A = this chain, B = another copy of it.
Amino acid sequence: MRKSPNLHDVAREAGVSAMTVSRFLNGSAPVGSYARQQITRAIENLKYRPNQIAKSLQTRKTGNIAVLLGNISSPMSALTIKGIENVSFGNRYNLLIGNTEFSEEKERRYLDILMQKQIDGMILAPSSKDREPLQEIIDRGIPLLFLDRHVPGVQADYVGFDFENDSYNVTEHLIDRGCRTISVICRRADLINDSPQVKGFHRALERASIPWDRQRILYCHPSTEDAYRCMGEIMESGTRPDAVYIASNTLASGVLRYCKDKNILIPEDCMLACFDSLGEFDDLIRPNLTCNEVPAFDLGVYVAELLMRRIHDGYERPDGPQRITLPGKLLIRESTGDAGGPRTGSETGARRQTVRVSGEAVTG
């Protein structure tokens, strides 16, 4: 394993200068046909590969973009990453992926390292409210996009799900089915922003003139065990609700397990609805519950496309910072039988295509 060949080696082998080889490789200027042949041959002979590092040092572009999420293995995140990868690869960018584990410290360390690695852009689901490192990214002219969450006071685009409206729709569905006393289980304190799910929930109640009771909102640690506990609290104390709305899908398995253990029939004893889809086996899970399907892959595609545009436009943002939300799709399933039920429930799919944009219009 000896030193790999460089531009000069190729140039010597081809009997031309290094610059001619460079121009040939990048197509940055015309090259004579004889030289072209010699160079092609030399490259093959030496198995030459351009060194992207050296090129980056010169051009200040690495062709890498960073993606920093709280939990890269959640089904939602995994799909979003796939969407981002898809668009990035098509635009000749590679992905540097980091899992912050929702830790401010780990996020900070990642931001630090990535700044040194000279990324061309960054997609971040922030776990910290700290503006300073983000401002530094922006000041260095690196396009920064928030995904799913944002940091108040930082002038960057945001792309996320339409939590509030989706939550409104789920709640409205429960109300339409006759529920009047609805409990909510949601994640303990949304990491950064106020819980828009709870807002949507309230809005739906208000619209139906149903008084709401703070006691009916339970905050829960993001674990199966704590969701199990919360569901117990709901069902064992005070008046039982008509319905329980699980505002964070990571909590669903704990709730379902409780119902299974306690022989609570869904939807006879209590209706159940879930903010996000439970995945591929969705309608095979018993009890079979109504949920909102969130466009995770599309979110990745959208955010990556916006990032590509920002990188391309030299960060001038002719259209100003944007706040974009993608609406989900309500999947209504209320069959209770074990087999023979409808394969998919009715869907309010029409809104699927809508993209909600606040601020200026989306260009392109």
Which A residues are closer than 8 A to B by beta carbons? 1, 4, 47, 49-54, 56-57, 62-64, 71-75, 77-79, 81-82, 85-86, 89, 92, 94-99, 106, 112-118, 136, 139-141, 224, 252-253, 256-257, 259-265, 278-281, 284-287, 297, 338-341, 343
Residue in chain B with minimal CB distance to A250: B280
**Which residues from chain B contact A139 at a C-beta distance below 8 Å?**
1
A340 in contact with B1 given A81-B72, A281-B278 (CB within 8 Å): no
A3 smallest CB distance to B (angstroms): 10
Contact A53 B47 (CB under 8 A): no
Chain B residues with CB under 8 A of A253: 280-281, 284
Contacts of A57 in B (CB 8 A): 51, 53-54, 57
Tell me the minimal C-beta distance from A278 to chain B in angstroms.
6
The 3 closest A-B CB pairs, nearest first, are: A78-B78, A73-B78, A73-B82
A320 CB, min distance to chain B CBs, angstroms? 18
Whether A53 lies near B62 (C-beta < 8 A) is yes
Known interface pairs A53-B56, A97-B95, A279-B279; A257-B284 also in contact (CB < 8 Å): yes
**Residue picked from A47, A77, A97, A343, most chain B C-beta under 10 Å:** A97
Nearest CB in chain B: distance from A243 CB, A: 18
Chain B: CB-nearest residue to A95: B97
Given contacts A263-B339, A281-B256, are A72 and B78 in contact (CB under 8 A)? yes
Question: What residues of B have a CB within 8 angstroms of the CB of A94 in the complex?
Answer: 96, 98, 113-114, 117
Nearest B-chain residue to A109, judged by Cβ: B89
Query: Looking at the complex, which one of B1, B64, B286 makes contact with A284 (CB distance below 8 Å)?
Result: B286
Contact B82 A116 (CB under 8 A): no
Kindly state the separation between the CA atoms of A85 and B257 in the bound complex, as whole angstroms.
31
Residue of B nearest to A80 (CB): B73
Distance in angstroms from A86 CB to nearest chain B CB is: 7
Are B75 and A75 touching (Cβ within 8 A)? Answer: yes
Instruction: Report the Cα distance A341→B257, complex, angstroms.
Output: 10
- Taking a contact as CB atoms under 8 Å apart, the answer to whether A141 and B1 are in contact is yes
Q: Are A99 and B116 in contact (CB under 8 A)?
A: no
In the docked arrangement, what's the CA distance between A261 and B335, Å? 13
**Which single residue of chain B is at the shortest CB-CB distance from A85?**
B99
A-B contact pairs, 26 of them (CB 8 A): A1-B140, A47-B136, A49-B115, A53-B53, A53-B62, A53-B117, A73-B82, A73-B297, A75-B75, A78-B78, A81-B97, A82-B99, A89-B106, A94-B96, A94-B117, A253-B281, A253-B284, A257-B284, A260-B340, A261-B343, A263-B339, A264-B339, A279-B279, A281-B285, A284-B286, A338-B338
Counting chain B CB atoms within 10 Å of each CB, the highest count among A1, A63, A264 belongs to A1
